[in-house]
Amino acid sequence: MKQGGYPGGRYRRTSASPEFKYPDNTTHNGILEISMQLSDFFSQTFSSVQDKNSQLIVVARNGQVFSLKDSSVFKQNGAEELISSIKLTSHTDYETVRFKVNGHSYLALQSYIPSIDVHLVNMASLEETMEGINHSRVRYIVLVSLLAAFLVLLSYSMQAIILRRLKALRESMQQVRNGNFNVELPPITGTDEVGELGFHYRKLILKINELIQDQAARQAAGKEAELRALKNQIDSHFLYNTLENVKMLAEIEGQYLISDIMTSLGGMMRYSMEWRQDHVMLSDEIQQVQHYVSVMNIRYDGRLDLQLSIEPECLKQESLKMSLQPVVENAIKHGMSRMHSKDGNLLITISAVRRGQACVIEITDSGRGIPDETLGLLNQMLRMEEHAYQEVRQLFVRKENEDGNGIGLRNVDQRLVMSYGVEYGIRIESQEGSYTRIIMTLPYRVMGGG
């Protein structure tokens, strides 16, 4: 293949001269020469209907460069200068070369055509591409900066909110530490950790104030009880001496029943007024109950029967002082008012057995019993809060037209719970028309003396 030009150099041409031979492939027949313009042979090379950022270049074997000179790709650097900046390949596969000339970036996609011994190079300018990339990079940097600034402001705002709530909590806690439990609780809300902390802190302060009020009420009740006990102890010896004198006169006159009553009454008074400790042996409580039943038999003409079934290992069981008498008193009061037996007698049975690490004391009376709905209400009233108990008590009084309504049993249960815990105390069992049973559960503890 040959390249040349017409006279005057105005047009460039290319020619192909294939050799023709006879069928024996040895005898020379002739040569056919075809000449045509380069613009027709490489139409895309001299065509402007292409991507404005790329242009096809043809490089002949003599190094001559053919391309569209007016292409915008060659605005900064000519085609010959660009071709001289790359190493032409001798492979037929496409090869990509990226390079710079005078600070301008280019991308060359080249290939070699051995049949006509030319190189085809598609030269692309990267100026607009790099400019677009730079613009995009600037936009991304600005966007990332704005986003970072927004995140910083958001983080600062959230941190300020959290710190403000934590500061309010800290100030409130400092006041509580200084003993001010009536501090105004900070209005901390929300579902995050700080909000949950504020919620539980508020609950804690309310609970502490409630416990303080309960403790103050207990201390006041204790002081009142001490004053009452002190008042009851005034001239106690005078009362004992008077009872002893009456007892002696009764024995002199042969009134042995009155003498026995004075003995029981004196024992009751001495036991209840000489309060040296809160805990006594169960045998002391049983003796107090025996004295009480003896005195009450005067009122009921001997219609009270007391039966005891106490296991020997329970006789020294620790129990609260004056915890059995209120229960027996309640049994006598309601049992005699709801009597159903033919002989009119009321049988009271007291039993005590050990069950594991507990001592179970049962006080059963043979009265008329309690209806099921009333029984459930009475058991609930034992452990009700005070305000709820007072409301139910008033309803109970109006419905049943009775004054007792379990006050003595509730007091005994509260004393047991305060001394031993909520798992101990009393509960009520009953069968209407048959019996009522009070079950008292205590931790098994043996005392050395009473």
Question: Whole-model pTM?
Answer: 0.49
Helix (H, G, I), strand (E, B) or coil at 204: helix
* Spatial distance between the Cα atoms of 56 and 74, rounded to a whole number of angstroms: 11
304-310/346-355 β-pairing: parallel
In Å, what is the CA distance from 193 to each residue of 16, 170, 173, 188, 206? 87, 15, 17, 11, 20
Helix (H, G, I), strand (E, B) or coil at 98: strand
Residues of the chain scoring pLDDT < 70: 1-50, 185-186, 228-238, 338-342, 397-406, 449-450
State the pLDDT at residue 23: 66
425-431/304-310 β-pairing: unpaired
Which structural domains are found in the chain, ordered by start? 2-125 (3.30.450), 304-443 (3.30.565.10)
358-365/65-66 β-pairing: unpaired
In Å, what is the CA distance from 225 to each residue of 31, 101, 172, 347? 142, 108, 37, 33
State the pLDDT at residue 49: 54
State the pLDDT at residue 449: 47
Per DSSP, the residues of 229-286 read HHHHTTTHHHHHHHHHHHHHHHHHTT-HHHHHHHHHHHHHHHHHH----SEEEHHHHH
Structure tokens at 191: 């579902």
State the pLDDT at residue 326: 92
State the pLDDT at residue 8: 40
Type and span of the H or E element at 123:
strand 118-125
State the pLDDT at residue 9: 39
State the pLDDT at residue 450: 39
The residue written with tokens 């009520």 in the block is 428
State the pLDDT at residue 347: 93
